Amino acid sequence: MGNDNADLEDRHNLPTPEPESPSLSRSRKPYSFSTLCATVESPNSDHKDQHGSSSVPIYQTATFKGVGGEYDYSRSGNPTRTHLEHHLAKISSANHAFVVSSGMAALDVITRILKPGQEVIAGDDLYGGTNRLLTYIRTHMGVVVHHVDTTNASSVLPHLTPGKTAMVLLESPTNPLLKIVDIAAISSMVKEKCPDAVIVVDNTMMSPYLQRPLEHGADVVYDSATKYLSGHHDLMAGVITCNRDDLAKQMAFTINAVGNALTPFDSFLLLRGTKTLAIRMDRQQSSAMIVAQMLQRLGFVVHYPGLPGHPGKEIHERIADGYGAVLSFETGDKELSERIVGATRLWGISVSFGAVNSLISMPCVMSHASIDPATRAARGLPEDLIRLCVGIEDPNDLLDDLRHALLNAGAITMAANDFVRIPTAVNKAVEKLALGELPVETTRRREDQEWFVSAPGKVILFGEHAVVHGVTAVAASVDLRCYGLTSPRHDNKVSVHFTNIEDYRHEWDLDALPWDAVSPVPPGDDHPENLDQRLLQAIHERALPPAHKMPPKAHAAAVAFLYLYMTMTHGGERPSFTFTARSTLPVGAGLGSSAAFSACVATALLLLHQRIELPSLPPRSRAPSFSSPGHVHISHQGRRAIPPAIADEINRWAFVSEKVLHGNPSGVDNAIVVFGGALAYTKPGFGRKSGMEKIHGFKSLRFLLTDSRIGRDTKALVARVAQRKLEEPHVVNSMFEAIQSIADEARRALDDPELPRQELLNALSALIEENHSYLASLGVSHDTLELIRLKCSSAPYNLSTKLTGAGGGGCAVTLVPDEFPASDLAALARELAAADFDPYFTAVGGSGLGILSPYDHGGTARAGALLTPPETPAAGPVKTPLRDAFAAVGNEELGKWAEERGRWLFV
Ligand SMILES: Nc1ncnc2c1ncn2[C@@H]1O[C@H](COP(=O)(O)OP(=O)(O)OP(=O)(O)O)[C@@H](O)[C@H]1O
Ligand SMILES: C[C@@](O)(CCO)CC(=O)[O-]
């Protein structure tokens, strides 16, 4: 037994120390959630480690020596646990946090607030263990428990009895049906009628990263920390947070009295797990969305609040910051579900969720088996329900394994090179569709609305050409964009309209396309590394006029469009629409017009072929106020409105289009135009660390871009360099090595916060000159580019210039120092224009790919900005509210006009 004398007991009533975290007291901008997670601070100066250990030590001791110290017995208090509790209070924005031995122990502590005769209102779709404990307190403690459908906030009202209702227990989203409860609405309703009732929320499905119910009226929140908070399924723990001192005091008493506080070692493990909560959760929920989309596409009834048409989506987005990583789906047949679960290999069959590894289960036979079948049926819990808890594995592996399991179990089959669902006797999805029970959004065809997308161009500062051969390139997006608009047609035709290329139009009868030559890529799969030559040949020979009979640029663009259209087709769906492209970028001038065009085509086709699901608007709870309706660039807390998994998918398909247009692209152009900002990009397969890294400090730089107006062909120039490398490998390779050093040095300089500004600019200028001289030696400069260089470098300008992109004409980029006089810049621009060049001043490092949100009915969108309204019947007259204006608006106004159409979601 511990020392329970009154004095000590008093000390342990409120063991959570007052947070002295700099994040709370500092006057600077508060840290974002992931930073708070990763930085564990001492609760107060008494807890500073004497040796300065950077990880909180495990005080693996039951007792502490001495009298009158802060700690005496680990049941009552332990330094490792104190650190953990302080950390959890900090990330939960709570005044008090307690950690106990499991999530159920947390609920046990909370329900001990109740007294016989009092009443509890709880949801009817609760976790089985919660249900079991509530049944126990009902039968053993004389507490009355009402189960109501809390997804309908007003269902709580009839059971609210002042003086009797002591607790309202909520869970959102519910597990396993992912129903959404309006925590905020219920809280205010309860507070009004029964101000003494304690509102308790089980937040396990979300974790404090995605939802903090204390901010929405809850009094006490608990999490099973066994799940997301720890993340590794290597401990059991429960967390209780609250702001009310009286409740905290009561619960602290119970924890000390019953002795269920978390052990020192588990406290250490949990603290460690919590540090990576945000990063795990980001990955897990983006993969969950991909899995949910695939299952929905196959025709299963999927429960996931991130899917359009989910009944609680809007409420959830108001309260939470993400959709979580648990979803469930119905197959229509319990035995089929059992076969599916048994056939997975990567998805582990297990109860629980929240770990880094993915799990699959059937709630009715596992986690919810403790609820009797009749009650399950009464609460609408389908016996065939499969729950998926998505981990951090590669999403493609997860999709692949699930598809195999569905295939092996006989839930889907392969037809016309695509997976399709095999109807079951009790195919609830089909029944619901037939009965019109599914929400309109789910049933409305994508092609019946207009989709408006855009992508920026790019400027390569260092490493073009060499990047194709494995050298790192440094590049940034430019603020000139390509726009793509799809407008519905109902005549079984698909057409393209390239306004920048002689206003070229072409249409195809969908049935007349060379379908025999296509090998579609199933949704979720990657396009093979090499292009399908058979399809390319068929497109050239059977789908388009000979190249010399149409503008060559339009020919190339049409081939890329059709190649992607046909390769993405699946499930026999062939959407009929017009794709219109317009660009404020000069086409074929080295500013990535092809990559921007490719990204627009890829995005539009992924949407129309239902291969990506557009996220709805970012949750509003912590979103900044959008000063401009056109820029929902960062949704909130540094997370963006288009999730990384979707951006990756768009980037992969944009790369395929680039391959069609360019032959052997490095991938840098499409990466920049999709992800925006500034990147150091290294192509994989050359023994160097590949991938992309964000570069900071680029946005503040100013550049002048000058179009030489000499047309050139990137494909031919890239091929020329490859040929030169074959002929003189030593010479060319040593130039590539030198360019690699230039890129490395530029990155180091840009990343060095201590480097004085002037030194940075001097270093970049020297590197620009050096890089250009290697490109000239590679044979990709041009007389006009040398003339531009000469003009810029002569007095009084003295500016450094290099070619950018493929060279051979196209654009030059000139670094403009901060203090460069505006009058000189204007004079230089005049001089360049007089020599028949086109100078551009454009911002760099801005937004990447954007999609005009189709969900924004009203909001900040201006009147008339709606896309096809929801009531448009699927087969009704074709509505194309954007199309005519898009084609007609002047080039100068295009960017502004696009911005004003509504709310843009960006990568
Ligand atoms: N707005 C557009 N409409 C239709 N096709 C376009 C458009 N913009 C670019 N393209 C396609 O991309 C091709 C231009 O690619 P190219 O690589 O030669 O130029 P770039 O992308 O501007 O330069 P770089 O690749 O060096 O950055 C065009 O020939 C055309 O096929
Ligand atoms: C010339 C090149 O390096 C850049 C074209 O913008 C080609 C590529 O990277 O694909």
- Beta-bridged to residue 123, according to DSSP, are 148
- Return d(Cα 654, Cα 449) in angstroms, integer: 22
Q: Is the pLDDT of residue 721 over 50?
A: yes
Question: Is 403 part of the annotated catalytic residue set?
Answer: no
449: tokens are: 């609305």
Q: Which residue has the tokens 């590679």?
A: 778
pTM over 0.80: no
User: Which stretch of DSSP H or E encloses residue 277?
Assistant: helix 277-298
Residue range 760-789: mean pLDDT, rounded: 97
Please report, for residues 306, 380, 490, 610, 866, the alpha-carbon distance to residue 875 in angstroms, rounded to integers and kept in the order given. 27, 34, 8, 18, 19
Q: Using CA atoms of 748, 754, 756, 759 in order, give the dihedral in degrees to the nearest 10.
A: -20
Classify 576 as helix, strand or coil. coil
Contacts of 437 (CB under 8 A, 6+ apart): none
* Full set of structural domains in the chain with CATH: 6-275 (3.40.640.10), 278-443 (3.90.1150.10), 452-481+576-616+638-841 (3.30.70.890)
- Beta-bridged to residue 145, according to DSSP, are 120
Question: Is 71 part of the annotated catalytic residue set?
Answer: no
- Beta-bridged to residue 583, according to DSSP, are 482
More confident residue, 326 or 413: 326
Q: What is the per-residue pLDDT across 450-500, written as a single tens digit (0 to 9) for each? A: 999 999 999 999 999 999 999 999 999 999 999 999 999 989 999 999 999
Beta strand extents in 255-383 (DSSP E only): 301-303, 326-330, 348-349, 359-361
Q: Give me the pLDDT at residue 643, please.
A: 81
Question: Is 227 part of the annotated catalytic residue set?
Answer: yes
Q: Is the pLDDT of residue 113 over 60?
A: yes
Residue range 828-832: mean pLDDT, rounded: 97
653 touches 527 (CB < 8 A) = yes
The DSSP string of 425-451 is: TT-HHHHHHHTT-S-HHHHS-GGGS-E
Q: Give me the pLDDT at residue 877, please.
A: 59
Q: Which of 472, 655, 718, 772 has the most ligand 2 atoms within 8 A of CB, as the residue to mutate? A: 718
Residue range 643-647: mean pLDDT, rounded: 85
Judged by its nearest atom, the ligand closest to the C-alpha of residue 550 is 1
472 touches 682 (CB < 8 A) = yes
330: tokens are: 């119905």
Instruction: Determine if ligand 1 sits within 6 Å of the CB of residue 483.
Output: no
- Return d(Cα 199, Cα 216) in angstroms, integer: 10
Residue from 468, 395, 449, 455 nearest 602 by CA: 455
Residue from 675, 688, 682, 687 nearest 646 by CA: 675
Runs of H (alpha helix) within 217-276: 245-258, 264-274
The Å distance, Cα 718 to ligand 2 centre, comes to 7
Q: Give me the pLDDT at residue 874, please.
A: 39
> What residue type is assigned to position 38 of the chain?
A
Judged by its nearest atom, the ligand closest to the C-alpha of residue 478 is 1
Return the ligand 1 atom nearest residue 665 CA. 25
- Return d(Cα 471, Cα 459) in angstroms, integer: 16
Beta carbons within 10 angstroms of residue 217's beta carbon: 17
- Return d(Cα 506, Cα 539) in angstroms, integer: 13
Residue range 165-193: mean pLDDT, rounded: 95
- Beta-bridged to residue 483, according to DSSP, are 454, 582
Q: Give me the pLDDT at residue 435, please.
A: 44
Q: Give me the pLDDT at residue 903, please.
A: 84
Highest mean pLDDT out of 428-437, 560-569, 841-850, 863-872: 560-569
Return the ligand 2 atom nearest residue 466 CA. 3
- Beta-bridged to residue 119, according to DSSP, are 144, 165
882 touches 831 (CB < 8 A) = no
- Beta-bridged to residue 839, according to DSSP, are 706
Q: Which residue has the tokens 């909001």?
A: 859
pLDDT band per the 50, 70, 90 thresholds, residue 7: very low
> Length of the chain in residues, anyone?
907
User: Using alpha carbons only, how large is the chain's radius of gyration in Å?
Assistant: 31
Q: Which of 666, 713, 736 has the most ligand 2 atoms within 8 A of CB, as the residue to mutate? A: 666
413: left (phi over 0), alpha (psi -120 to 50) or beta: beta
Which residue has the CA at smallest separation from atom 24 of ligand 1? 590
**Cis peptide bond upstream of 456, omega within 30:** no
Residue from 359, 318, 456, 344 nearest 411 by CA: 344
Question: Is 196 part of the annotated catalytic residue set?
Answer: no
Q: Which of 459, 461, 462, 467 has the most ligand 2 atoms within 8 A of CB, as the residue to mutate? A: 467
Instruction: Determine if ligand 1 sits within 6 Å of the CB of residue 597.
Output: yes
104: tokens are: 């159920």
Please report, for residues 720, 745, 775, 777, the alpha-carbon distance to residue 727 in angstroms, rounded to integers and kept in the order given. 11, 29, 17, 14
Q: What is the per-residue pLDDT across 876-891, written as a single tens digit (0 to 9) for each? A: 556 678 988 898 888 8
Q: Give me the pLDDT at residue 855, please.
A: 65
585 touches 672 (CB < 8 A) = no
Alpha carbon of residue 190 to chain centroid: 35
527 touches 521 (CB < 8 A) = yes
Q: Give me the pLDDT at residue 424, please.
A: 67
Return the ligand 2 atom nearest residue 463 CA. 3
508 φ, ψ (degrees, to nearest 5): -125, 140
- Helix 79-91 to helix 264-274 angle (10° resolution) is 30
Q: Give me the pLDDT at residue 858, please.
A: 35
Q: Is the pLDDT of residue 99 over 70?
A: yes
Please report, for residues 423, 429, 701, 897, the alpha-carbon distance to residue 331 in angstroms, rounded to integers and kept in the order given. 9, 8, 55, 46
Residue range 297-312: mean pLDDT, rounded: 93
Residue from 851, 852, 303, 289 nearest 524 by CA: 289
